[in-house]
Amino acid sequence: MLEMTREEFEELVAEALDRIPPELTRLMDNVAVFVEDEPPADDPDLLGLYEGTPLTERGEWYAGVLPDRITVYRGPTLRMCDTREDVVAETEVTVVHEIAHHFGIDDARLHALGYG
């Protein structure tokens, strides 16, 4: 398995977030991004997870709720990648994939766009 500290991985996630176009990040609302070492035991290969209410499903009822949560998992990413460059690329795909869920884009559409 490729070695990378949690701090190094968190920096890659931050860099991936920085590459999201500003016109999109301005539209993101009430969402927080986290890095965890491992996903839930029932899905050990999960690279990222979006939990919350997509922007497309929010209505006038949406107020006073906790932020949506995007989690990127370090362990499975490092286990599937052979090089640091692979980790950089996979992290970026994962971050974009989870942000797309925040915007209401489903997995089928993401796979069609190459963000599977």
CA distance 74 to 38: 6
Closest among 93, 103, 74 to 19, alpha carbons compared: 93
Position 48, amino acid: G
Phi, psi of 6 (to 5 degrees): -60, -40
pLDDT of residue 114: 80
Paired strand residues for 34: 71
Q: Which residues have a Cβ under 8 Å from the Cβ of 3 and sit 6 or more positions away? A: 78
Tens digit of each residue's pLDDT (9 = 90 or more) over 4-46: 999 999 999 999 999 999 999 999 999 999 999 999 999 999 9
Distance of CA 35 to the CA centre of its chain: 9
Tens digit of each residue's pLDDT (9 = 90 or more) over 56-88: 999 999 999 999 999 999 999 999 999 999 999
Closest among 88, 99, 93 to 115, alpha carbons compared: 93
